Each structure stands twice: as structure tokens, then as C-alpha cells.
Amino acid sequence: MSTDTMAAAVLRDPGGRHPLRIERTPIPQPAAGEVLVAVEAFGLNNAEILQCRGALPPPPGGVPGLECVGTVVADGAGWLAGDRVVALTRAGAYAEYVTVPSGACIQISDDLEPSAAAALPEAAATAWWNLVHRGRLQPGERVLIHGAAGGVGSMAVQIARALGATVIGTARGPRKSALCRELGCHEVIDYAGTDVFDAVRRLVPAGVDIILDNQGAATVAANIGVLAPLGRLVIVGVASGTGAAVDLGALMAGGVEISSSSLGRLCDEMRTAICREVSAEVLPKVLAHSVRPVVDATFGFADLAAAHRRFSEPDRIGKVVVTTDISKTDAEQRNQLFA
């Protein structure tokens, strides 16, 4: 390998049959307040799939990737060479190296397996931010989590349960439903053959306090209809579209709220604060095995196209992860290049 280039998956043909090409590109140089991370593995996310399909703008620099696990290459910005971290990246994780704002890194131990670590940062940060800050979850509240077997949903189930909530999850099919029960759902609604909202009304006649919704437009009215007074609907995805009509009278009648957020659009200061909270509140539970990232499958870097196909298959659970060939030892051997 050249000492100043790396392998990276570059988005060259959005919407085409082969949108990503693995190329040799310059190793990025960290700006002030950033660190260079040698990537062990990265998790796939829906935004990257949509970028490859041409449905979202290409990522800055042309290399997708919103999260990774890896090793800090050189001292700086509060980190030491050899520190192992998981990181929230705005782009660039589909590569052997990526630059990351210092505050978007969370230190982890060497014994956290790469695939589990790579599946952690985006899902944990999204679930924590939307349950705790947007949803203002309190112990004893009733939480409905749509898509509870997915990457964010599976993490949200475990975090909500750990915070003392009664958790209802929705999933499709017996395999996903079984996973949701295993993760801690008190009730699971299999929407393959059941009307979800009828089932919620039967289970919780008084309504649920918080709904984490990944569908968007198509379910807004139905979600509002099963909220308890002062309930909160938090929209974290728009799989069914973005254009929804809202009955303001229904909102006002129950004093309920609708909020939404995109983790990627938060400023660096807010992302830093979320990473601190995930490090303090979620990571210890992961290390204690009371919360676990759910990994559906792990692929090598050369099989990135197959990883993307797996991500889009309907029976996927949790996260899909891709590993690189960079190890901690490899990264440490290259520290002198960036001194």
C-alpha cells in the first residue's frame, strides 16, 4: 500500500447499477479539532443507500459513511495515538481512514468486537437523542417503537427498557417478533397480519406516552390517534413519504406533540453532547451486556455491493457491517507518518 493513499468507496454513479467504486484516494488530513481514524469497520445506514440511489445528494468528498470503529492514528485534539474509538462521521467512513471531529469520537475498550462496535454509534445516538431529549422519556411511561427489529429500533427498545419504560414494538414476521421479545419488548405487534393501531388500542386503551416512528407521512394521523394525553410522537424516518396532513384539533384535544430530528443535521456541539451522554449512559450497558448492538451480517470491504443488497432485503434485522483490512497494529505502525 502507498504511504499516502488509501482504499475508499467513492460514489461515482448515483442511481446507476454500480454507484460505488473502490479506488485509491489520498488519505485525508485532519483539520483543527479533528482526528484521523484508521477504520476497522463501519455500519451501513439508510442515508447512504439513498445517496447511492440518487435520492439524496452525494456526501461531501464523494465517500459515504456515517459511523465507524477504528483507532486514532496520531496524538491530537485530546486523543492519543492508539486510542480505540467509535465515531459519528458526517461522511467518509467507507474507507480505510477518515477524519472525525474530536467530540464525535467515543473511546471504547479493545475487547469490544469490531462488528458490534461499528453497529453502535449511529443507532445508539439516534435512539438516545430521540427518546431522552425529543421524547423526554420518564420511568413508567409507555413507549411504542415502530420497526423495533431494525438498527435504530432494536437499540431504542433496549434503551427504553433500561430507562424503565413499558415497551411495545412493531415488527414483521415471527423471526423479527422473537428478536423484539428477546431485546425486552413487553408486547410485540406483528404487522404482517395485524392492524397495528387496533392492537395498540386493545393493549393500551389509555394510549401510549411516546411513539418512535420510522414511517413518516402515512402513519402520522394513526399515531396521533393512539397517543395518551400529553403524548409525544417523534418521527425518526420517512419511509412512507414526507407530505402529511395533520389535524390540529386532534393535537390540541390531547395536548400532544409532534417532533422530529435528523442526527446528521445537528451542529457539532450538539453531536458532541450526545456522544458524551452515549459514552456515559449507553456504553457501560453495552460493556455489561445488558444492551447489545444487533448485527444482521458482516461483509468484507470487497463485498460492499453485497452488503448494500443485504441492507435492503426485507428480512434484515439490526445493522449490516463492513470490515476493512486495517487493524489496530497497522494503524499504530503508521503513526510516524502523521507526527
Q: What is the dihedral of CA 220, 222, 226, 228, to 10 degrees?
A: 30
| Strand runs labelled E in the chain | 5-11, 20-26, 34-43, 67-72, 84-88, 97-101, 105-107, 142-145, 166-171, 187-190, 208-213, 227-235, 257-260, 295-300, 319-323
Which pLDDT value is given to residue 252?
86
| Residue-number span of the structural domain to which 36 is assigned | 5-120+293-338
Which pLDDT value is given to residue 328?
53
Rounded Cα gap, residues 188 and 191, in angstroms = 9
> Is residue 135 located within the same domain as residue 259?
yes
> Is residue 178 located within the same domain as residue 299?
no
CATH of the domain at 150: 3.40.50.720
In a domain, 276, yes or no: no
Which pLDDT value is given to residue 249?
84
In a domain, 286, yes or no: no
Task: Work out whether strand 67-72 and strand 97-101 pair parallel, antiparallel, or are unpaired.
Answer: unpaired
> Is residue 188 located within the same domain as residue 230?
yes
> Is residue 190 located within the same domain as residue 138?
yes
Q: Which residues contact 133 (CB under 8 A, 6 or more apart)?
A: none
In a domain, 273, yes or no: no
Report angle CA 295, 298, 302 to the nearest 5 degrees.
Answer: 155
In a domain, 231, yes or no: yes
Q: Which residues contact 82 (CB under 8 A, 6 or more apart)?
A: 71, 72, 328, 331, 332, 335
Rounded Cα gap, residues 224 and 209, in angstroms = 11
> Bridge-partner residues for 190, per DSSP?
171
Q: Which of 115, 121, 122, 176 is nearest to 145 (CA)?
A: 176
Tally of domains in the chain: 2
Please, how many CA atoms are within 13 Å of residue 249, restricted to the half-sphere of its CB?
0
Domain end call among 245, 264, 283 = 264
Rounded Cα gap, residues 32 and 218, in angstroms = 44
> Is residue 163 located within the same domain as residue 246?
yes
Please, how many CA atoms are within 13 Å of residue 115, restricted to the half-sphere of its CB?
13
> Is residue 65 located within the same domain as residue 146?
no
pTM summary value: 0.92
Which pLDDT value is given to residue 339?
38
Check residue 76 and report its DSSP letter: B
Which pLDDT value is given to residue 2?
44
In a domain, 236, yes or no: yes
Task: Work out whether strand 5-11 and strand 20-26 pair parallel, antiparallel, or are unpaired.
Answer: antiparallel
| pLDDT mean by block of 10 residues, the chain; 339 residues | 81 94 96 96 96 93 97 94 97 97 96 96 97 97 97 97 97 96 97 93 97 85 94 85 78 88 90 97 95 97 96 96 74 46
> Is residue 133 located within the same domain as residue 115?
no
Q: Which of 114, 105, 133 is nearest to 35 (CA)?
A: 105
The distance from CA 101 to its chain's CA centroid, rounded to whole angstroms, is 18
> Is residue 69 located within the same domain as residue 170?
no
> Is residue 80 located within the same domain as residue 191?
no
